[in-house]
Structure 1
Amino acid sequence: MSDFNSKHEKVAAKLRNEITGTEYEPGDQLPSEKRLCDYFKVSRVTVRHALQTLENERLIYRKQGLGAFVADTTLNSGLVQLTDFSEDMKKAGLKSSSGLISLDKVEPIKEVNEILQLRPDMKLIRIDRIRFANGNPVAFDITWLPPGYGQLLFDEDLTTQTIYDVLEDKYEIPIQGGSYRITAKNADDYIAKHLGIAPESAVLEIDRCSRTTGNKKVYFQKRYYNPSHVSYVLELSRNDNESMSSKDGLPLKEFSPSFAK
């Protein structure tokens, strides 16, 4: 485990224990980021990442300009968390690895530059990788990054590290959120070759865009899953608590990939 991950997880664990124990009541305010930095003797980036973890777990909520507050965990809240490939594999009890096909500076792509909110003439960094689970090729990724983030990856071993690993652990660039778009697609010759399937076979295409602080886009990625190895599990909860407004609808509790072993 990296030093950065270890630090922020230790901070999150300590705060989690206090929140779920008897230290705090729902609505109580947590100490300021500065006080938490002093108390844990860590950087502000580490504290913010720990708070983001707790917010993702719905244990706290934040008010702009005021700070972080303890959430009412008696409400039936859902948890949906952005994860990377290695985290998905670990959760599934599988060993992850990657095969790096290419890492290059490429010409602008109108659609990608717009998604990443870059100038139309700005070149991109493109990474093509095969993603393995227990040695089986289950996914193929094509990832585009702005040059500022992409140049940080050229000297890294992306067969054993993920992009999240490098940016968060080495450069303390937290990945705070992202969006998913899932569609069905027929694999072209290039994708099929690297997944070891026949051309025009059906694959699951996931377009995902991850962002860091300030809503800055870190990368846009197209991931192609072999559906014989993976499916997505969607779990909803129905909450009849009248204190919840109708706009809350059916909270999404879990949305995660399920891998065949």
Structure 2
Amino acid sequence: MSKPFKVIAMIPARYEASRFPGKLMQDLAGKPVIVRTYEAARSTQLFDEVYVVTDSKIIFSEIEKHGGQAIMSQKEHECGSDRIAEAVQDMNVDIVINVQGDEPFINKKALSQLLNVFETDKEKHIDLASLKVKLTTEQDIINPNHVKVITDLNNFALYFSRSAIPFHRAKEFDVDYFKHVGIYAFRKEALMAFYNLPMSPLEAAEKIECIRYLENGKTIKMVETQEVSIGIDTPEDLEKARLRFS
């Protein structure tokens, strides 16, 4: 793929995870989950470089052992964007894509959709791009683990919430609900601006980092997709992933 800009993938990787501690080092068909994710990102051939950025010496060593590129975080970070920003601040790069470390089944088509946003944004009006997928069941819509997003008529994000938004008061009108898929593509300058801004009260309350961008006037272009990766959040997810590999 010929790109008019330099694009890299950054995979933030914490060893601890509240729901499934150590999940990134769990075995998945002979290699740790984080190594499988790194290799999947490389195999898309969409990126000039792929890095894992981590606070864990265990993960760092494992990536290097398998011939990958890893960066050790120098500070403690509240979110993946901050971890990535520290790592890229001295890099010569235009677009940074945040790939989730627990998604070894990376979908090339969805990532390509994000990159296409910037290829057509000649005036650089877009600071970030991210993905959304339609929610179809009441259970998914009310689930606070699914971050919902509402957009304007041009598919720019207006707000993200763990609540079911919009509130469907007038039942004679149909509304759609969309889940935010946590894969971001940033212009480097937007990412660095985020890094230097304090966490907002809304971001802290919802535990949704992209709210900080909206509150500080950044534009987030949402791309609807049906191409969603499978994440590993629980031991049950890991078993499903092992079956898929086998």
Judging by fraction of residues, say which structure has more strand: 1
Bin of the TM-score, shorter chain as denominator length: under 0.3
Tell me the TM-score normalised to structure 1 length.
0.27
Tell me the TM-score normalised to structure 2 length.
0.28
**Higher RCO, 1 or 2 (CA under 8 Å, sep at least 6)?**
2
